[in-house]
Amino acid sequence: MAEPDGAVDLRAALSRMRRSGGLPVAFGGLFAGARQFRITELSGTATRILQGLVISPGNGLGGKAVTMSRPMSVSDYRASRAISHEYDAAVATEGLRSVLAVPVVVRRRVRGVLYGALRQPTALGDRSLTAAVEAARELEQSLAVYDEAERLLSVARGSLERGPVERGPGDADPAVWEEVRAAHADLRALAQRVSDAVLRDEMLAACGRLARASSGAAAGGDPAAGGAVGLESAGRPSVERPSVALSPREVDVLACVASGATNAAAAERLGLRPETVKSYLRSSMRKLGAHTRLQAVVEARRAGLLP
Protein backbone atom coordinates (compact mmCIF):
# COMPACT_ATOMS: atom_id res chain seq x y z
CA MET A 1 0.00 0.00 0.00
CA ALA A 2 1.42 3.39 -1.04
CA GLU A 3 2.19 5.88 1.67
CA PRO A 4 0.53 9.29 1.58
CA ASP A 5 2.55 12.14 0.08
CA GLY A 6 4.91 13.56 2.69
CA ALA A 7 5.14 10.48 4.93
CA VAL A 8 8.82 9.89 4.16
CA ASP A 9 9.62 13.57 4.60
CA LEU A 10 7.65 13.70 7.87
CA ARG A 11 9.78 10.88 9.30
CA ALA A 12 12.94 12.68 8.17
CA ALA A 13 11.76 15.89 9.85
CA LEU A 14 11.17 14.09 13.15
CA SER A 15 14.60 12.48 12.99
CA ARG A 16 16.20 15.85 12.38
CA MET A 17 14.36 17.36 15.36
CA ARG A 18 15.66 14.64 17.69
CA ARG A 19 19.19 14.77 16.32
CA SER A 20 19.62 18.54 16.14
CA GLY A 21 17.32 19.69 18.91
CA GLY A 22 18.27 17.34 21.73
CA LEU A 23 14.68 16.08 21.87
CA PRO A 24 14.33 12.46 23.00
CA VAL A 25 10.77 12.21 21.67
CA ALA A 26 9.25 13.55 18.45
CA PHE A 27 5.98 12.82 16.69
CA GLY A 28 3.64 14.45 14.22
CA GLY A 29 1.04 14.21 11.52
CA LEU A 30 -0.39 15.88 8.44
CA PHE A 31 -3.92 16.94 7.62
CA ALA A 32 -5.72 14.38 5.49
CA GLY A 33 -8.89 16.49 5.41
CA ALA A 34 -9.89 20.04 6.17
CA ARG A 35 -10.82 19.77 9.85
CA GLN A 36 -8.51 17.36 11.71
CA PHE A 37 -5.13 15.73 11.51
CA ARG A 38 -3.96 12.40 12.87
CA ILE A 39 -0.63 11.67 14.53
CA THR A 40 0.89 9.11 12.17
CA GLU A 41 4.62 9.11 12.88
CA LEU A 42 6.41 8.48 16.18
CA SER A 43 10.12 8.70 16.94
CA GLY A 44 11.64 7.84 20.30
CA THR A 45 8.34 7.03 22.04
CA ALA A 46 8.11 4.27 24.66
CA THR A 47 4.52 3.30 23.76
CA ARG A 48 2.17 3.47 20.76
CA ILE A 49 -0.49 5.41 22.65
CA LEU A 50 -0.08 8.54 20.51
CA GLN A 51 -0.31 6.61 17.22
CA GLY A 52 -3.52 7.50 15.42
CA LEU A 53 -4.55 10.20 17.89
CA VAL A 54 -6.88 12.64 16.10
CA ILE A 55 -6.18 16.32 16.84
CA SER A 56 -8.80 19.01 16.26
CA PRO A 57 -7.87 22.68 15.73
CA GLY A 58 -7.92 24.54 19.03
CA ASN A 59 -7.60 21.42 21.18
CA GLY A 60 -4.45 20.66 23.13
CA LEU A 61 -1.06 22.14 22.33
CA GLY A 62 -0.97 21.02 18.69
CA GLY A 63 -4.52 22.16 18.05
CA LYS A 64 -3.69 25.58 19.48
CA ALA A 65 -0.57 25.78 17.29
CA VAL A 66 -2.83 25.09 14.28
CA THR A 67 -5.28 27.81 15.29
CA MET A 68 -2.56 30.35 16.06
CA SER A 69 -0.44 29.24 13.08
CA ARG A 70 2.76 29.62 15.10
CA PRO A 71 5.03 27.49 17.33
CA MET A 72 3.80 26.86 20.87
CA SER A 73 5.40 25.21 23.90
CA VAL A 74 4.59 24.34 27.52
CA SER A 75 7.07 23.44 30.25
CA ASP A 76 4.60 21.09 31.96
CA TYR A 77 1.81 19.79 29.72
CA ARG A 78 -0.43 18.45 32.50
CA ALA A 79 -0.25 21.62 34.61
CA SER A 80 -0.46 24.19 31.81
CA ARG A 81 -3.38 26.60 31.89
CA ALA A 82 -2.58 27.88 28.40
CA ILE A 83 -4.06 24.85 26.62
CA SER A 84 -7.09 22.60 26.82
CA HIS A 85 -6.57 19.06 28.07
CA GLU A 86 -8.46 16.66 25.80
CA TYR A 87 -5.33 14.54 25.25
CA ASP A 88 -3.93 14.42 28.78
CA ALA A 89 -4.44 10.67 29.16
CA ALA A 90 -2.34 9.80 26.11
CA VAL A 91 0.36 12.35 26.97
CA ALA A 92 0.55 11.05 30.57
CA THR A 93 0.73 7.41 29.44
CA GLU A 94 3.73 8.25 27.26
CA GLY A 95 5.23 10.17 30.20
CA LEU A 96 5.67 13.49 28.43
CA ARG A 97 5.94 16.76 30.37
CA SER A 98 7.66 19.52 28.40
CA VAL A 99 6.22 19.69 24.87
CA LEU A 100 6.54 21.96 21.83
CA ALA A 101 4.38 22.02 18.71
CA VAL A 102 5.32 23.65 15.40
CA PRO A 103 2.73 24.02 12.62
CA VAL A 104 3.68 23.08 9.07
CA VAL A 105 2.35 25.85 6.84
CA VAL A 106 2.27 25.74 3.04
CA ARG A 107 0.86 28.74 1.16
CA ARG A 108 -0.70 30.10 4.34
CA ARG A 109 -2.51 26.86 5.08
CA VAL A 110 -1.56 24.66 8.04
CA ARG A 111 -0.85 21.17 6.72
CA GLY A 112 0.25 19.43 9.90
CA VAL A 113 2.14 19.70 13.18
CA LEU A 114 5.54 18.54 14.44
CA TYR A 115 5.89 17.84 18.16
CA GLY A 116 8.99 17.51 20.29
CA ALA A 117 8.99 16.53 23.95
CA LEU A 118 10.98 15.89 27.11
CA ARG A 119 10.00 13.64 29.98
CA GLN A 120 10.93 16.31 32.53
CA PRO A 121 8.94 19.49 33.33
CA THR A 122 11.46 22.05 32.14
CA ALA A 123 11.49 24.98 29.75
CA LEU A 124 12.61 24.02 26.27
CA GLY A 125 15.61 26.02 25.05
CA ASP A 126 16.30 27.86 21.82
CA ARG A 127 18.20 24.88 20.43
CA SER A 128 15.13 22.65 20.52
CA LEU A 129 12.76 25.26 19.13
CA THR A 130 15.17 26.27 16.34
CA ALA A 131 15.62 22.64 15.28
CA ALA A 132 11.87 22.06 15.24
CA VAL A 133 11.19 25.19 13.20
CA GLU A 134 13.94 24.33 10.69
CA ALA A 135 12.57 20.79 10.34
CA ALA A 136 9.08 22.21 9.74
CA ARG A 137 10.42 24.59 7.07
CA GLU A 138 12.09 21.70 5.21
CA LEU A 139 8.89 19.67 5.39
CA GLU A 140 6.94 22.65 4.05
CA GLN A 141 9.25 22.81 1.04
CA SER A 142 8.77 19.09 0.41
CA LEU A 143 4.98 19.40 0.60
CA ALA A 144 5.09 22.34 -1.82
CA VAL A 145 7.01 20.09 -4.24
CA TYR A 146 4.34 17.38 -3.89
CA ASP A 147 1.62 19.95 -4.57
CA GLU A 148 3.38 21.10 -7.71
CA ALA A 149 3.95 17.50 -8.80
CA GLU A 150 0.24 16.75 -8.45
CA ARG A 151 -0.62 19.90 -10.44
CA LEU A 152 1.74 18.95 -13.24
CA LEU A 153 0.49 15.37 -13.28
CA SER A 154 -3.03 16.72 -13.62
CA VAL A 155 -1.94 18.83 -16.58
CA ALA A 156 -0.21 15.81 -18.14
CA ARG A 157 -3.22 13.53 -17.65
CA GLY A 158 -5.57 16.16 -19.06
CA SER A 159 -3.37 16.66 -22.10
CA LEU A 160 -3.17 12.94 -22.79
CA GLU A 161 -6.92 12.50 -22.34
CA ARG A 162 -7.80 15.27 -24.79
CA GLY A 163 -6.86 13.07 -27.74
CA PRO A 164 -4.98 15.40 -30.11
CA VAL A 165 -1.82 15.03 -28.04
CA GLU A 166 -1.81 11.28 -28.60
CA ARG A 167 -1.99 11.84 -32.36
CA GLY A 168 1.16 13.92 -32.44
CA PRO A 169 2.12 17.61 -32.56
CA GLY A 170 1.20 17.95 -36.22
CA ASP A 171 -2.46 17.33 -35.44
CA ALA A 172 -2.85 19.36 -32.26
CA ASP A 173 -3.32 22.98 -31.35
CA PRO A 174 0.20 24.46 -30.95
CA ALA A 175 -0.86 25.93 -27.60
CA VAL A 176 -1.71 22.43 -26.37
CA TRP A 177 1.74 21.19 -27.28
CA GLU A 178 3.42 24.13 -25.61
CA GLU A 179 1.52 23.18 -22.45
CA VAL A 180 2.54 19.54 -22.86
CA ARG A 181 6.19 20.35 -23.37
CA ALA A 182 6.28 22.75 -20.42
CA ALA A 183 4.62 20.14 -18.18
CA HIS A 184 7.09 17.48 -19.36
CA ALA A 185 10.14 19.62 -18.62
CA ASP A 186 8.79 20.69 -15.23
CA LEU A 187 7.86 17.14 -14.25
CA ARG A 188 11.32 15.80 -15.10
CA ALA A 189 13.05 18.56 -13.16
CA LEU A 190 10.72 18.17 -10.19
CA ALA A 191 11.01 14.37 -10.09
CA GLN A 192 14.59 14.64 -8.85
CA ARG A 193 13.36 16.50 -5.75
CA VAL A 194 10.64 13.99 -4.80
CA SER A 195 11.66 11.51 -2.12
CA ASP A 196 8.54 9.36 -2.52
CA ALA A 197 9.61 6.61 -4.97
CA VAL A 198 6.03 5.75 -5.99
CA LEU A 199 5.17 9.34 -6.89
CA ARG A 200 8.52 9.80 -8.64
CA ASP A 201 7.88 6.71 -10.80
CA GLU A 202 4.40 8.01 -11.64
CA MET A 203 5.86 11.35 -12.68
CA LEU A 204 8.50 9.73 -14.89
CA ALA A 205 5.91 7.39 -16.41
CA ALA A 206 3.77 10.42 -17.31
CA CYS A 207 6.86 12.04 -18.84
CA GLY A 208 7.39 8.93 -20.94
CA ARG A 209 3.82 9.01 -22.25
CA LEU A 210 4.07 12.69 -23.09
CA ALA A 211 7.39 12.18 -24.86
CA ARG A 212 6.23 9.16 -26.87
CA ALA A 213 3.18 11.10 -28.04
CA SER A 214 5.38 13.34 -30.19
CA SER A 215 6.51 10.43 -32.35
CA GLY A 216 3.46 8.20 -31.88
CA ALA A 217 5.62 5.74 -29.94
CA ALA A 218 4.23 2.56 -28.48
CA ALA A 219 3.51 2.25 -24.76
CA GLY A 220 6.78 0.48 -24.00
CA GLY A 221 10.11 1.99 -23.11
CA ASP A 222 11.94 3.13 -20.06
CA PRO A 223 9.93 5.85 -18.31
CA ALA A 224 13.04 7.12 -16.56
CA ALA A 225 14.77 7.73 -19.87
CA GLY A 226 11.68 9.23 -21.47
CA GLY A 227 10.64 6.34 -23.69
CA ALA A 228 12.01 4.30 -26.56
CA VAL A 229 11.66 4.87 -30.29
CA GLY A 230 8.32 5.40 -32.02
CA LEU A 231 6.66 2.48 -33.78
CA GLU A 232 3.46 3.84 -35.21
CA SER A 233 1.25 6.88 -34.96
CA ALA A 234 -2.53 6.73 -34.81
CA GLY A 235 -3.84 6.29 -38.36
CA ARG A 236 -0.38 6.51 -39.94
CA PRO A 237 2.12 3.85 -41.10
CA SER A 238 4.83 2.88 -38.65
CA VAL A 239 8.15 4.68 -38.93
CA GLU A 240 11.18 2.77 -37.73
CA ARG A 241 14.00 4.82 -36.25
CA PRO A 242 17.29 3.69 -34.73
CA SER A 243 17.06 3.31 -30.98
CA VAL A 244 18.71 6.10 -29.04
CA ALA A 245 19.65 5.43 -25.41
CA LEU A 246 20.04 8.61 -23.39
CA SER A 247 20.56 8.65 -19.65
CA PRO A 248 17.79 10.17 -17.49
CA ARG A 249 19.96 13.20 -16.77
CA GLU A 250 20.69 13.72 -20.47
CA VAL A 251 16.94 13.77 -21.11
CA ASP A 252 16.47 16.18 -18.19
CA VAL A 253 18.98 18.58 -19.71
CA LEU A 254 17.47 18.34 -23.20
CA ALA A 255 14.00 18.97 -21.76
CA CYS A 256 15.28 22.19 -20.21
CA VAL A 257 17.05 23.18 -23.42
CA ALA A 258 13.84 22.52 -25.36
CA SER A 259 12.02 24.98 -23.10
CA GLY A 260 14.58 27.67 -23.98
CA ALA A 261 16.74 27.45 -20.86
CA THR A 262 20.41 28.38 -20.99
CA ASN A 263 23.00 26.05 -19.51
CA ALA A 264 23.09 28.18 -16.36
CA ALA A 265 19.29 28.19 -16.04
CA ALA A 266 19.14 24.42 -16.62
CA ALA A 267 21.81 23.89 -13.98
CA GLU A 268 19.86 25.89 -11.41
CA ARG A 269 16.63 24.11 -12.26
CA LEU A 270 18.17 20.63 -12.04
CA GLY A 271 20.50 21.27 -9.11
CA LEU A 272 23.61 20.69 -11.22
CA ARG A 273 26.73 22.68 -12.05
CA PRO A 274 26.76 24.50 -15.43
CA GLU A 275 29.81 22.44 -16.45
CA THR A 276 27.89 19.25 -15.72
CA VAL A 277 24.94 20.43 -17.81
CA LYS A 278 27.32 21.20 -20.68
CA SER A 279 28.81 17.70 -20.38
CA TYR A 280 25.38 16.04 -20.48
CA LEU A 281 24.40 18.19 -23.47
CA ARG A 282 27.57 17.27 -25.37
CA SER A 283 27.08 13.54 -24.76
CA SER A 284 23.41 13.63 -25.78
CA MET A 285 24.27 15.56 -28.97
CA ARG A 286 26.89 12.93 -29.81
CA LYS A 287 24.43 10.06 -29.29
CA LEU A 288 21.76 11.82 -31.36
CA GLY A 289 24.17 12.75 -34.15
CA ALA A 290 23.36 16.42 -33.64
CA HIS A 291 25.67 19.39 -34.14
CA THR A 292 23.58 22.07 -32.43
CA ARG A 293 21.34 22.32 -29.38
CA LEU A 294 18.27 22.83 -31.56
CA GLN A 295 19.12 19.84 -33.72
CA ALA A 296 19.53 17.70 -30.59
CA VAL A 297 16.05 18.69 -29.42
CA VAL A 298 14.57 17.91 -32.84
CA GLU A 299 16.26 14.50 -32.98
CA ALA A 300 15.19 13.70 -29.42
CA ARG A 301 11.59 14.45 -30.36
CA ARG A 302 11.84 12.26 -33.44
CA ALA A 303 13.13 9.46 -31.23
CA GLY A 304 10.24 9.83 -28.80
CA LEU A 305 12.42 11.10 -25.97
CA LEU A 306 10.84 14.57 -25.78
CA PRO A 307 7.32 15.74 -26.64
Give the pLDDT of residue 195.
79
Both 128 and 166 in a single domain? Answer: no
- Assess if residue 2 is contained within a domain: no
Question: What is the average pLDDT across 103-129?
Answer: 95
- Assess if residue 287 is contained within a domain: yes
Least confident segment among 13-17, 112-116, 158-162, 226-230: 226-230
Question: What is the average pLDDT across 263-275?
Answer: 92
Range of the domain at 121: 7-142
Question: What is the average pLDDT across 40-48?
Answer: 97
Give the pLDDT of residue 5.
66
| H or E element at residue 249 | helix 248-258
Both 294 and 198 in a single domain? Answer: yes
pLDDT digits (tens, 9 = 90+) for 169-185: 555 566 767 777 888 88
Residue 279 has pLDDT above 70, yes or no: yes
Q: Which of 142, 175, 210 is the last residue of a domain?
A: 142
Q: Can you spell out the DSSP letters for 71-89?
A: -EEES-GGG-SSS--TTHH
Question: What is the average pLDDT across 109-115?
Answer: 95
Cβ atoms of 132 and 17 closer than 8 Å: yes
Number of neighbouring beta carbons within 10 Å of residue 222: 14
CA distances from 69 to 9, 58, 66, 104, 110 (A): 20, 11, 5, 8, 7
Give the pLDDT of residue 226.
45
Give the pLDDT of residue 198.
84
Both 170 and 138 in a single domain? Answer: no
Tell me, rounded to whole angstroms, the distance of Cα 81 from its chain centroid: 39
Residue 268 has pLDDT above 80, yes or no: yes
| Residue-averaged pLDDT of the chain | 84
Give the pLDDT of residue 302.
87
Question: What is the average pLDDT across 138-151?
Answer: 91
Give the pLDDT of residue 155.
80
Both 189 and 219 in a single domain? Answer: yes
Give the pLDDT of residue 86.
97
Both 191 and 135 in a single domain? Answer: no
Question: Which of 111, 108, 109, 115 has the alpha carbon at shortest distance from 135?
Answer: 115
- Assess if residue 183 is contained within a domain: yes
- Assess if residue 206 is contained within a domain: yes
pLDDT digits (tens, 9 = 90+) for 202-260: 888 888 888 876 655 444 444 444 443 332 333 333 344 557 789 999 999 999 998 88
Give the pLDDT of residue 6.
82
Question: What is the average pLDDT across 19-25?
Answer: 96
119 or 301, higher pLDDT: 119
**CATH number for the domain harbouring residue 280:** 1.10.10.10
Cβ atoms of 133 and 102 closer than 8 Å: yes
Q: Can you spell out the DSSP letters for 275-305?
A: HHHHHHHHHHHHHHT-SSHHHHHHHHHHTTS
**CATH number for the domain harbouring residue 120:** 3.30.450.40
Give the pLDDT of residue 230.
34
pLDDT digits (tens, 9 = 90+) for 59-88: 999 999 999 999 999 999 999 999 999 999
Residue 98 has pLDDT above 90, yes or no: yes
- Assess if residue 157 is contained within a domain: no
- Assess if residue 154 is contained within a domain: no
Give the pLDDT of residue 224.
47
Q: Which of 83, 114, 142 is the last residue of a domain?
A: 142
Both 65 and 35 in a single domain? Answer: yes
